């Protein structure tokens, strides 16, 4: 019964977590695999469709893929099936690779290869595991080790007759040789890549391989052969199967080759830079390609003495390059945090040694004390500069985090909306709609968090205004037939106060729109927020006649329990007056705003 329940939960999870914009082909494929999983009897039969479904989700939603791999891992471990477990390890290694987690990628790849010591694994599984090792070694600049494991992956890819894996693996080997300026060896593996890619009709891989061949001949200074490779690549540049990023890369590589070693007229450079310009109008060819394009365009315009156009292109190049450099710096913040813990003890030892050395010097040469003191002051000043710079990057990351949380909450809200349209039960529809409103209120708070200069305070004035107007429209009222009056004297609140206050406001206002205005000709809602005597007072009043104090005290609804819980969380109090309409008065202690 537990296994059957877990299967149902997993199936529903996949249906909800898949973005509504997934292609129909993906839906059909994942639905078919999940049906096969539900109908499977043996553990081995269950693992196979789960891992295949996880692979479908790998690039679209790595988190979903990991959930499927975790379920498959549990089944494989309980069944003792080494082959199934190795397949799962290869898949989890791929998820961590996409997340740029080299340590976990390496761990699961080695776990899978450890299984091969006791069980003969299929060649395709071994090839996948060795490829993951190659990716990690290449990412950590262990190029020789990367080449060795990639060669093993290539052998197993041939045994499994997987043309795509053969092409991508030999391409990786050739690219490593290119990066290390071993161009003759690179050309050998580029030729193997072309052979497999032509056999499998992988046009994008073919185009990328020709780009690497051009780079190899360029490194060997065999420019005539580089132009021959350009001619061989040209038929593929108009093919729809070649991605815009690959086309953009090809255009800029050809342009750079022609600018440096082509004819004085630079016809190829002019032609393919124009193609790149056209590509930019219909799609994004990638930031690195854009940077190369604007640099090549500037050089071309200078060569024909179009100085205004050259200056404009060079200015755009500088802008894009600065943006990319800033992104690289931001990406290093997490790496710096990880290195901090591992290097903490070494830093302490070095600090102690430095301190002892300085003491000895102070005892021997007292005259150098002032110089050392000034040097230390300068070092502290430098460290403060670095800390301030890192704070700016961390603030950017926090804003990005709130932005992503807001986007994810909006996706969940959309999924609830879609699901409610498929449900006939009015009570279920009502519950889903209430949940959707609560999620939208939290999404709005996160939106305000990343729109403010700081990431810890919310513009409560804008939040209350938008929330009240959104709920008014959601329940079918307009400005001409509803009297909405707001008096918000407090501009900003700390996030840990604003979130529960926002949810309380959402619950009370939603309840008013649902029940209070039945048979009311001139519906009205009044919301005030002010600060008095170190207290934050929130008042929500309507002119409805439905609610009574007795009914409120006897209610066991989720909304009332949520309001009470949030009020207690804020250490506040609530009063209700139903003499002429309903008036909710909440009082919370004021928390000082953080600088």
Whether residue 252 is predicted with pLDDT greater than 60 in this model: the reply is: yes
Cα–Cα distances (Å) from 261 to 178, 222, 398, 537, in that order, read 20, 10, 47, 75
- Is the distance from CB of 524 to CB of 509 less than 8 angstroms? no
Q: Cα separation of 198 and 475, whole Å? A: 60
pLDDT at 2: 42
pLDDT at 396: 59
- Is the distance from CB of 472 to CB of 482 less than 8 angstroms? yes
Token pair listed for 474:
């959601």
Q: Cα separation of 124 and 524, whole Å? A: 68
pLDDT at 47: 77
- Is the distance from CB of 399 to CB of 450 less than 8 angstroms? yes
What confidence tier does 41 reach under pLDDT thresholds 50, 70, 90?
Answer: low
Please report where in the chains the tokens 């997934």 appear, as a residue.
22
Query: Of the ranges 28-42, 418-432, 566-580, which is most confident?
Result: 566-580
C-alpha count within 13 angstroms, C-beta hemisphere, residue 153: 29
Whether residue 555 is predicted with pLDDT greater than 50 in this model: the reply is: yes
Mean pLDDT on 465-475 = 84
Return the percentage of the chain with pLDDT > 90, whole number.
13
Mean pLDDT on 3-9 = 40
Whether residue 216 is predicted with pLDDT greater than 90 in this model: the reply is: yes
Q: Is 27 helix (H, G, I), strand (E, B) or coil?
A: helix
The crossing angle, in degrees rounded to 10, of helices 244-261 and 223-233 is: 150
pLDDT at 12: 35
Q: Is 591 helix (H, G, I), strand (E, B) or coil?
A: coil
End-to-end distance of the chain based on CA atoms, in angstroms?
Answer: 54
**Tens digits of per-residue pLDDT, 46-58?**
777 777 777 777 7
Q: DSSP characters for 479-496?
A: GGG-EEEEEE---EEEHH
Which of the pair, 403 or 499, is modelled with greater confidence? 499
Whether residue 344 is predicted with pLDDT greater than 70 in this model: the reply is: no
Burial class (CB in 10 A: 0-12, 13-18, 19+), 253: buried
pLDDT at 503: 86
Query: Which long-range contacts link 57-62 to residues 24+ away (Cβ below 8 Å)?
Result: 57/18, 57/30, 58/91, 58/94, 58/95, 58/98, 59/98, 60/18, 60/19, 60/22, 60/26, 61/17, 61/18, 61/19, 62/95, 62/98, 62/99
pLDDT at 17: 42
Whether residue 1 is predicted with pLDDT greater than 50 in this model: the reply is: no
pLDDT at 342: 55
How many CB atoms are closer than 10 A to CB 319? 12
E strand or H helix at 574, and its extent? strand 573-577
Query: Helix/strand/coil (H, E, C) string of 341-364?
Result: HHHHHHHHHHHHHHHHHHHHHHHH
Whether residue 440 is predicted with pLDDT greater than 90 in this model: the reply is: no
Token pair listed for 112:
């899978």
Q: Cα separation of 51 and 68, whole Å? A: 7
What confidence tier does 3 reach under pLDDT thresholds 50, 70, 90?
Answer: very low
pLDDT at 324: 67
Token pair listed for 497:
């106060």
What confidence tier does 194 reach under pLDDT thresholds 50, 70, 90?
Answer: very high
Which of the pair, 511 or 5, is modelled with greater confidence? 511
Q: Is 365 helix (H, G, I), strand (E, B) or coil?
A: coil
Whether residue 247 is predicted with pLDDT greater than 80 in this model: the reply is: yes
Mean pLDDT on 87-106 = 82
Q: Report the mean per-residue pLDDT for the chain.
A: 77
Which of the pair, 564 or 345, is modelled with greater confidence? 564
Mean pLDDT on 547-561 = 81
User: What's the gap between Cα 211 and its chain centre?
Assistant: 29
Q: Cα separation of 355 and 318, whole Å? A: 44
Query: Helix/strand/coil (H, E, C) string of 272-324?
Result: HHHHHHHHHHHCCCCHHHHHHHHHHHHHHHHHCCCHHHHHHHHHHHHHHHHHH
- Is the distance from CB of 29 to CB of 76 less than 8 angstroms? no
How many CB atoms are closer than 10 A to CB 443? 19
pLDDT at 406: 55
Mean pLDDT on 450-463 = 72
Mean pLDDT on 497-520 = 84
The crossing angle, in degrees rounded to 10, of helices 287-303 and 244-261 is: 30
**Tens digits of per-residue pLDDT, 265-321?**
777 777 777 777 676 766 666 666 667 666 666 666 666 666 666 677 667 777 777
**Tens digits of per-residue pLDDT, 137-190?**
888 888 898 899 899 888 988 998 989 889 999 999 999 999 899 999 999 999
Mean pLDDT on 192-210 = 92
Q: Is 261 helix (H, G, I), strand (E, B) or coil?
A: helix
pTM above 0.75, yes or no: no
Whether residue 199 is predicted with pLDDT greater than 90 in this model: the reply is: yes
pLDDT at 185: 92
What confidence tier does 23 reach under pLDDT thresholds 50, 70, 90?
Answer: very low
Mean pLDDT on 371-381 = 79
524-532 vs 483-488, strand pairing mode: parallel
- Is the distance from CB of 439 to CB of 504 less than 8 angstroms? no
Mean pLDDT on 443-467 = 72
Task: Print burial letters for 550-589: b (CB count within 10 Å at least 16), e (below 16).
Answer: eebeeeeeebeebbeebbeebebebeeebeebbebebbbe
Question: Which of 220, 218, 283, 276 lies closest to 249, judged by CA?
Answer: 276
């Amino acid at each position: 019964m537990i296994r059957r329940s877990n299967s149902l939960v997993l199936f529903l999870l996949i249906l909800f977590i898949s973005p509504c914009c997934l292609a129909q082909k993906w839906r059909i494929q994942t639905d078919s695999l999940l049906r096969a999983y539900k109908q499977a009897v043996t553990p081995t039969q269950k693992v196979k469709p789960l891992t295949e479904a996880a692979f479908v989700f790998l690039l679209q939603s790595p988190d979903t893929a990991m959930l499927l791999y975790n379920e498959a891992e549990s089944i494989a471990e309980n069944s003792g099936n080494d082959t199934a477990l190795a397949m799962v390890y290869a898949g989890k290694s791929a998820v961590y690779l996409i997340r740029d987690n080299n340590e976990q990628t390496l761990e699961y790849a080695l776990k899978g290869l450890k299984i091969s010591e006791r069980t003969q694994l299929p060649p395709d599984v071994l090839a996948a595991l060795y490829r993951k090792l190659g990716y990690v070694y290449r990412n950590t600049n262990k190029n020789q080790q990367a080449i060795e494991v990639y060669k093993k992956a290539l052998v197993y890819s041939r045994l499994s007759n997987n043309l795509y894996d053969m092409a991508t693996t030999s391409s990786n080997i050739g690219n490593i040789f290119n990066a290390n300026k071993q161009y003759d060896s690179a050309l050998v593996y580029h030729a193997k890549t072309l052979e497999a890619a032509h056999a499998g009709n992988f046009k994008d891989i073919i185009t990328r391989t020709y780009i690497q061949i051009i780079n190899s001949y360029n490194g060997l200074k065999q420019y005539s052969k580089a132009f021959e490779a350009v001619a061989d690549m040209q038929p593929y540049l108009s093919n729809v199967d070649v991605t815009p990023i690959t086309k953009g890369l090809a255009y800029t590589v050809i342009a750079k080759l022609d600018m440096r070693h082509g004819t004085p007229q630079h016809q190829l450079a002019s032609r393919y830079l124009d193609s790149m310009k056209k590509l930019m109008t219909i799609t994004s060819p990638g930031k690195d390609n854009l940077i190369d394009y604007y640099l090549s365009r500037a050089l071309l315009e200078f060569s024909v003495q179009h100085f205004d156009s050259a200056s404009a292109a060079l200015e755009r190049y500088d802008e894009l390059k600065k943006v990319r450099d800033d992104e690289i710096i931001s990406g290093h913040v997490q790496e710096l945090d990880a290195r901090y813990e591992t290097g903490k003890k070494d830093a302490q030892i070095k600090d102690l040694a430095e301190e002892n050395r300085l003491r000895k010097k102070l005892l021997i040469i007292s005259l150098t004390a002032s110089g050392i003191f000034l040097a230390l002051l300068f070092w502290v000043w430098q460290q403060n500069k670095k800390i301030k710079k890192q704070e700016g990057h961390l603030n950017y990351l926090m804003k990005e985090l709130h932005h992503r949380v807001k986007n994810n909450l909006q996706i969940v809200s959309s999924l609830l909306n879609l699901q409610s349209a498929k449900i006939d039960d009015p009570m279920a529809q009502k519950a889903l709609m209430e949940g959707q409103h609560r999620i939208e209120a939290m999404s709005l708070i996160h939106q305000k968090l990343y729109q403010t200069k700081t990431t810890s305070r919310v513009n409560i004035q804008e939040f209350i205004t938008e929330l009240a107007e959104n709920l008014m429209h959601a329940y079918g009222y307009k400005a001409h037939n509803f009297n909405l009056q707001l008096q918000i004297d407090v501009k900003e609140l700390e996030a840990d106060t604003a979130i529960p206050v926002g949810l309380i406001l959402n619950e009370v206002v939603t309840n008013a729109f649902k029940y209070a205005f039945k048979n009311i000709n001139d519906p009205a809602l009044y919301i005030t927020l002010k600060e008095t005597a170190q207290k934050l007072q929130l008042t929500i009043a309507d002119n409805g006649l439905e609610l009574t104090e007795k009914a409120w005290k006897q209610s066991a609804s989720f909304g009332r329990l949520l309001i009470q819980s949030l009020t207690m969380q804020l250490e506040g109090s609530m009063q209700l007056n139903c003499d002429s309409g309903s008036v909710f008065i909440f009082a919370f202690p004021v928390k000082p705003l953080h600088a």
